């Protein structure tokens, strides 16, 4: 009996130990499962993180063959869906902008609309649309531009356009000076032994062969100002100006076209006229029998085409880009070499005919006679008096 009892107890212990082994194995298996799942879960974010790297595309940089300053300013610019409206002159001026400036705007998604015409139309439009302009950039003469800034219809210039800091001081006033020129004398060389000065307009030998441009305008206003100096006063004295100018009337012609003027001068029907330097040199290059004089007394009158940004433009950044391109050495040099418009950017270097014929360099700029804004400030009353006392002769 005792042996049987021992056998029963031993059997029970063996069965008990066998039963304990199975749960241990199950626990180990269960504990291993989460580790495997964690590895799978950890692998999924890694795959998700790798996916965006495959989707990123390199942004293609737009080629730029302008100076470093201009290229840096244009970097990253996107004008998609925007149209810049620019009021400017036609002819070669328009061609240069279409060749050099407009393509750079278009490369960046923008469009440009040119409004061609004279400064009188542009000025009237700017004032009529004050506060809600449809024109973004306007080219005016230096006196109109200064008046527009003063009246709050044009933005004051600033280094928001980086090239502003490179302009000669005279080109930083009343807008962004685009091109320097001088109002001097175009003449037929067969009638003069030496380059004429302003006093020669009053020489009896040329009576009836003097021409001037329509009034108001830079050329005709300049001659009126000179008349004031010839009468012992200046451009702020209307009585002195009108009485002296009347002495050389009637004019042989009042020109609206330089083609018309220089055809008459080439023939000798007109022998002397006030003309902006760059225009005169362009016609001289065509082989016409004309010459140009830089008058000394009281001086060659400073003229400057001025780029202005209209106050309230809805395309300000695009307007700044246009200004930067226009004032860049590349574009300024094109104007100087093609139509002898002097550079306002001090970084430009000229040689040959361009250097000789342009208003180029600080010394030449400083030598010019800068008029007051009297003509612009009193344009309406002066125009009425001009029509009555000069054109009626």
Model pLDDT for residues 68-88, shown as the tens digit of each residue: 999 999 999 999 999 999 999
Strand partners, 254: 212
Collapsing DSSP to helix, strand or coil, 86 comes out as strand
Sequence-ordered list of residues with C-beta below 8 angstroms from that of 332, at least 6 positions apart, any chain: 179, 343, 344, 345, 348
Q: What is the C-alpha separation between 244 and 202, in angstroms, rounded?
A: 9
Collapsing DSSP to helix, strand or coil, 233 comes out as coil
**pLDDT of 243 strictly over 90:** yes
At residue 355, the pLDDT reads 97
Model pLDDT for residues 216-236, shown as the tens digit of each residue: 988 999 999 999 999 999 999
At residue 31, the pLDDT reads 36
Q: Band of the pLDDT at 61, cuts 50, 70, 90?
A: confident
Model pLDDT for residues 255-314, shown as the tens digit of each residue: 999 999 999 999 999 999 999 999 999 999 999 999 999 999 999 999 999 999 999 999
Least confident of 3-7, 192-196, 247-251: 3-7
φ/ψ of 34, rounded to 5, equals -60, -35
Task: Supply the pTM of this predicted model.
Answer: 0.81
User: C-alpha 341: how far from its chain's center?
Assistant: 14
Model pLDDT for residues 10-49, shown as the tens digit of each residue: 444 444 444 444 433 433 333 333 333 333 334 444 444 4
Could you give all domains of the chain from N- to C-terminal order, each with its CATH number?
68-180+303-377 (3.40.190.10), 182-302 (3.40.190.10)
At residue 23, the pLDDT reads 38
Q: What is the C-alpha separation between 139 and 114, in angstroms, rounded?
A: 11
Model pLDDT for residues 338-350, shown as the tens digit of each residue: 999 999 999 999 9
Which ranges constitute the DSSP H helices of the chain? 2-55, 68-74, 91-96, 102-107, 119-128, 142-150, 218-230, 238-245, 258-267, 277-284, 316-327, 329-339, 352-357, 362-366, 374-377, 379-389
- High-pLDDT (> 70) share of the chain, %: 85
Question: Which residue would you say has higher pLDDT here, 26 or 373?
Answer: 373
What would the mean pLDDT of 312-320 be, rounded to a whole number? 98
**pLDDT of 317 strictly over 50:** yes
In contact, 143 and 172? CB cutoff 8 Å? no
At residue 245, the pLDDT reads 98
- Is the sign of the CA dihedral 126, 359, 278, 282 positive or negative? negative
Collapsing DSSP to helix, strand or coil, 253 comes out as strand
User: Of 156, 136, 118, which is closest to residue 305 (Cα–Cα)?
Assistant: 118
What would the mean pLDDT of 241-246 be, rounded to a whole number? 98
Which ranges constitute the DSSP H helices of 203-327? 218-230, 238-245, 258-267, 277-284, 316-327
At residue 333, the pLDDT reads 97
Tell me the average pLDDT of the chain.
88
The answer to whether the bond into 258 is cis (omega within 30° of 0) is no
Model pLDDT for residues 165-182, shown as the tens digit of each residue: 999 999 999 999 999 999
């Amino acid at each position: 009996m005792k042996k049987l009892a021992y056998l029963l107890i031993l059997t029970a212990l063996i069965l008990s130990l066998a039963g304990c082994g199975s749960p241990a194995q199950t626990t180990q298996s269960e504990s291993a499962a989460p580790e495997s799942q964690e590895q799978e879960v950890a692998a999924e974010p890694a795959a998700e993180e790798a996916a965006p790297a495959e989707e990123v595309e390199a942004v293609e940089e737009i080629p730029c063959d302008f100076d470093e300053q201009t290229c840096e300013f244009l970097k990253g610019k996107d004008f998609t869906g925007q149209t810049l409206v620019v009021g400017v002159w036609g002819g070669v001026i328009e061609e240069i902008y279409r060749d050099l400036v407009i393509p750079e705007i278009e490369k960046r998604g923008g469009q440009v609309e040119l409004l061609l015409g004279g400064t009188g139309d542009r000025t009237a439009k700017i004032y009529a649309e004050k506060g809600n302009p449809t024109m973004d950039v306007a080219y005016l003469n230096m006196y109109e531009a200064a008046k527009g800034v003063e009246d709050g219809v044009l933005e004051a210039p600033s280094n928001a356009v980086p090239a502003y800091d490179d302009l000669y001081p005279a080109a930083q006033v009343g807008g962004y000076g685009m091109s320097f020129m001088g109002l001097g004398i175009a003449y037929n060389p067969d009638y003069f032994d030496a380059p004429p000065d302003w006093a020669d307009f009053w020489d009896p030998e040329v009576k009836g062969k003097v021409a001037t441009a329509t009034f108001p305008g830079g050329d005709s206003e300049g001659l009126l100002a000179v008349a004031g100096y010839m009468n012992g006063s200046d451009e702020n004295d209307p009585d002195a100006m009108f009485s002296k100018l009347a002495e050389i009337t009637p004019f042989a012609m009042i020109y609206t076209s330089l083609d018309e003027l220089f055809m008459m001068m080439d023939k000798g029907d007109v022998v002397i006229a006030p003309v902006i330097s760059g225009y005169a040199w362009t016609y001289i290059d065509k082989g016409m029998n004309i010459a140009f004089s830089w008058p000394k007394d009281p001086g060659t009158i400073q003229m400057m085409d001025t780029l202005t940004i209209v106050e309230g433009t809805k395309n300000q950044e695009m307007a700044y880009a246009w200004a930067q391109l226009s004032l860049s050495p590349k574009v300024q040099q094109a104007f100087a070499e093609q139509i002898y418009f002097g550079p306002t950017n001090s970084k430009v270097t000229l040689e040959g005919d361009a250097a000789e014929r342009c208003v180029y360099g600080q010394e030449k700029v400083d030598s010019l006679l800068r008029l007051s804004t009297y003509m612009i400030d009193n344009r309406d009353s002066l125009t009425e008096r001009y029509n009555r006392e000069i054109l009626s002769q």
